[in-house]
Amino acid sequence: VGETALPGKHNLENMLAAAAVSWAAGIRSETIGRTLRAFKGVAHRLEYVGNFRGITFINDSKGTNTGATIKALESFPQKVILIAGGKDKGADFEDLAPFIKKRVKRLILLGETRDKIVRAVQKEDFTDFILVNSIEAAVRASYQLAVEGDLVLLSPACASWDMFNNYEERGSEFKRAAKLLGRETNEKSKGEAS
């Protein structure tokens, strides 16, 4: 189980539970281990998108509440550039703000909750945030702010309905924008090298 590609203590706990149930059902430990090592996770849940110019992009669009975003932030050892915000479901974001202060390098906010999140993080004396109007603008801003070794995490802590039909569409747009930016950067680098 220690060889899994999935980040986060909560994923490890889920894998251990799955392994225990499988073992109790009579499945061979070698089969369980092989399956767990091969499992790459589920789309839009701490999904690895790619590494472009040494910057890793992770899609956690399914993180539609503060608890899910806290788990996502706890999944990585380094501070991250967090893209958050979306449809207001009544959360006050007070529980998320201390985790942002501790685990976020830069905060990029979009959607109808962005001002509400700003008020919550300012109470924690966190001021390193910017406001954007689209997921593409959020990806571009994160890329401009990031340096090699940084991790950009989309984990909105909100629903998607203010800008998208569902979290899948939001996550797909994030992935599309990140990959497009990665291709543009690679093409620019190749052009400069010639």
- % of the chain at pLDDT higher than 70: 90
How far, CA to CA in Å, does 178 sit from each of 27, 58, 141, 152, 172? 40, 10, 11, 10, 10
What's the pLDDT score for residue 20? 83
What's the pLDDT score for residue 3? 57
What's the pLDDT score for residue 2? 52
pTM of the model: 0.85
3-state SS string for the chain: CCCCCCCCHHHHHHHHHHHHHHHHCCCCHHHHHHHHHHCCCCCCCCEEEEEECCEEEEECCCCCCHHHHHHHHHCCCCCEEEEECCECCCCCCCCCHHHHHHHEEEEEECCCCHHHHHHHHHCCCCCCEEECCCHHHHHHHHHHHCCCCCEEEECCCCECCCCCCCHHHHHHHHHHHHHHHHHHHHHHHHHHHC
pLDDT tens for 14-58 read 777 777 888 888 989 888 888 777 767 778 899 999 999 999 999
What's the pLDDT score for residue 193? 62
Q: Which two tokens stand for residue 101?
A: 């202060």
Q: Spell out the domain ranges in the chain.
A: 1-41, 42-193
What's the pLDDT score for residue 19? 78
- In the numeric block, the tokens 């985790």 are attached to 99
Closest to 38 measured CA to CA, from 83, 72, 4, 85: 4
What's the pLDDT score for residue 192? 67
Average pLDDT over residues 68-73: 97
For 42-193, the fitting CATH number among 3.40.50.170, 3.90.190.20, 2.60.120.380, 3.40.50.280 is 3.90.190.20
CA distance 77 to 30: 30
What's the pLDDT score for residue 122? 98
Answer yes or no: are the C-beta atoms of 36 and 18 closer than 8 Å.
Answer: yes
Tell me phi and psi for residue 97, to 5 degrees.
-55, -45
pLDDT tens for 158-183 read 999 999 999 999 999 999 999 999 88
What's the pLDDT score for residue 47? 95
